[in-house]
Homo-oligomer: A and B are copies of this chain.
Amino acid sequence: MADTRELVKDMAEKARSASRRVALLSTDVKNRVLLETADRIEAEKGFLQEENRKDLDAGRKKGLTPAFLDRLELSDKVIASMAQGLREVAALPDPVGEVVRMWKRPNGLQVGRVRIPLGVIGMIYESRPNVTIDAAGLCLKAGNAIILKGGSDAINSNLALASILSSVLGDNGVPGEAVQVIPTTDRSAVTDMLAMEEEIDLIIPRGGEGLIRFVVEHSRIPVLKHYKGVCHVYVDRYADLEMARDICFNSKVQRPGVCNAMEGMLVHSGIAGEFLPMVGDSLREAGVEIRGCSRTCEILPWATPATEADWGEEFLSLILAVRVVDSMDDAMDYIARYGSNHTEAIVTRDYARARQFLNQVDASLVVVNASTRFNDGGQLGLGAEIGISTSKLHAYGPMGLEELTTTKFIAFGDGQIRQ
């Protein structure tokens, strides 16, 4: 609708203009905004939960699922975790202004690359209102302005959070347009955002595969995304089997509903007879359903025979596809075919195989002898993350503060001209 387009256009232009000032904020001011917002979120819990209740009530009337309502709720725990997240981001080093490298040309020109903010980031997400705060905190710390379009079912919660942010920004002399929540539930606002390539530098969608595909198809702005995480552990013939058992168990069971959980386990035929019963017992006790190839089912008679649809499936639950393979090449072929470039692990004691797997497997994290669950900004040491990219442009893997910046070239001369 024309009204929505004008609204979004106006917000985007204001964000563009605010972004120039946000880019120049001192680290002190940025950290103060983050820490004060954390305090205010805790202090105004009552107000936030009241606004959140409007969304929850409307959602219940609308018949939203309990899982959806759960993600929508600003519980005490969610509020504490938003505040904690802001404090952690405040404690991270400021990426802006870092001189990444500097070198001298034969003519004496000193050339470097310095880290700068991207500019304006557009965030499109579904039900979780905590994304509003998490994303705003990271983007601000990296010197960016942000426009947030959350799910319509969370509109009151998101606007309440935005009002706190905007008031803290004002108190600290930062333009309120640095963080804006689009105040409409009109879905055309999403396509409007995606067309504003002059004002918005990057789109980050968070949500189901449907939302993300929609965004990629309609955007003229670069998009950072991952569709899904179909992660594997390959247990090599030369694996330490106890280590392999612990790693597979952790990768599958520690938190099965997330993108870096193991969905497929590949076991070398030379050790399958010994290993599968070992790991099988632990997994079975934890309630994992194994969908196995025929050789797996021979060794573990209680396993369910897998169908073609189970290979490469993102279960996000206590279901695991298991296949016995005759070589590491077969395992890598399987991963190339069914994997999603997210996280792939090998367990082996063999030096050459570890190296070959690391070199040849194409995934945002390739890991030797550790759990797939480490593919996470915090776990890998990036601090907080805004998502995990499985596409290769700009960022591949967890995206932290650094991935919310770019570098420009700078050059110091003494009158050099080109010959």
A240–B415 Cα gap in the complex (Å)?
9
A103–B382 Cα gap in the complex (Å)?
11
Q: Which of B24, B105, B374 contacts A381 (CB 8 A)?
A: B105
A373–B107 Cα gap in the complex (Å)?
14
A118–B395 Cα gap in the complex (Å)?
11
Contact mask for chain A residues 391-416; partner B; CB cutoff 8 A; 1 contact, 0 none: 11110111000000011111111111
Least CB distance, A196 to chain B, in whole angstroms: 13
A164 contacts which chain B residues (CB < 8 A)?
none
Contact mask for chain A residues 364-399; partner B; CB cutoff 8 A; 1 contact, 0 none: 111111110111000111000000000111101110
- CB of A410 within 8 A of CB of B366, answer yes
A103, A370, A380: residue with the most chain B Cβ atoms closer than 10 Å? A370
A369, A406, A409: residue with the most chain B Cβ atoms closer than 10 Å? A409
A73–B413 Cα gap in the complex (Å)?
37
- CB of A243 within 8 A of CB of B415, answer yes
A254 with B105, Cβ < 8 A, contacts A220-B216, A380-B409, A392-B118 known: no
- CB of A362 within 8 A of CB of B116, answer yes
Q: How large is the interface on A (under 10, 10 to 19, 20 to 34, 35 or more residues)?
A: 35 or more
Q: Which of B354, B358, B379, B408 contacts A396 (CB 8 A)?
A: B408
- Asked if A75 is an interface residue, CB under 8 A from chain B, the answer is no
- Asked if A247 is an interface residue, CB under 8 A from chain B, the answer is yes
Q: Which of B240, B409, B411 contacts A368 (CB 8 A)?
A: B411
- CB of B202 within 8 A of CB of A381, answer no
- Asked if A201 is an interface residue, CB under 8 A from chain B, the answer is yes
A202 with B393, Cβ < 8 A, contacts A247-B415, A370-B415 known: yes
- Asked if A217 is an interface residue, CB under 8 A from chain B, the answer is yes
- CB of B409 within 8 A of CB of A375, answer yes
Contact mask for chain A residues 236-253; partner B; CB cutoff 8 A; 1 contact, 0 none: 000010010011011100
A413 with B370, Cβ < 8 A, contacts A217-B220, A392-B119 known: yes
Q: Which of B364, B369, B407 contacts A409 (CB 8 A)?
A: B364
In addition to A365-B410, A396-B406, 4 A-B residue pairs with Cβ atoms within 8 Å of each other are A119-B362, A216-B220, A374-B416, A396-B408
Give the 9 A-B CB pairs with smallest separation, nearest first: A370-B413, A250-B417, A373-B418, A394-B394, A370-B416, A222-B393, A243-B415, A365-B409, A369-B413
Q: List 20 A-B contacts (CB under 8 A).
A: A20-B336, A109-B370, A111-B380, A119-B362, A197-B216, A201-B391, A201-B392, A222-B391, A246-B415, A246-B417, A358-B410, A364-B409, A365-B411, A366-B410, A367-B410, A368-B410, A371-B417, A371-B418, A392-B406, A396-B408
